[in-house]
């Protein structure tokens, strides 16, 4: 019986988690769609000025920021899964099965 409760709670939380990107899209009025062409031009180097100081291009800066964000999220996710697994052994954790 307890396992069924845990599974139901997990399903409810997962449904809310899946809806989060849609909420953010509505909240920001779909800026990730509206400004896609500007972002593509920025990364491709259309706005680069060879006379500016510095050696880091827009693409290099974006890649560094993205890799740092993804790395941090992965560390937090693994730590959270480990915490939930240790706290309740019947919790559905995909990282530790």
- Residues 73, 62: Cα–Cα separation, whole Å: 17
* Residues written for the chain: 97
Residue with tokens 């990730």, as numbered in its chain: 32
Distance from the first to the final alpha carbon of the chain: 20
Question: Chain-centre distance of CA 81, in angstroms?
Answer: 16
**What pLDDT does residue 97 have?**
46
Decide: 85 and 6 in contact? Cβ < 8 Å.
no
Kindly report, residue by residue over 29-69, the tens digit of the pLDDT: 999 999 999 989 988 889 888 888 888 888 888 889 888 88
């Amino acid at each position: 019986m307890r396992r069924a409760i845990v599974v139901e709670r997990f399903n409810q939380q997962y449904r809310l988690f899946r809806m989060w990107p849609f909420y953010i899209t509505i909240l920001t009025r779909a800026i990730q769609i509206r400004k896609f062409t500007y972002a593509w031009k920025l990364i491709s180097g259309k706005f680069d000025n060879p006379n500016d100081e510095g050696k880091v291009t827009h693409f290099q800066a974006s890649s560094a920021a993205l890799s740092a964000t993804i790395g941090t999220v992965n560390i937090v996710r693994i730590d959270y899964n480990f915490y939930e697994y240790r706290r309740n052994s019947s919790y559905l954790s995909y990282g530790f099965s």
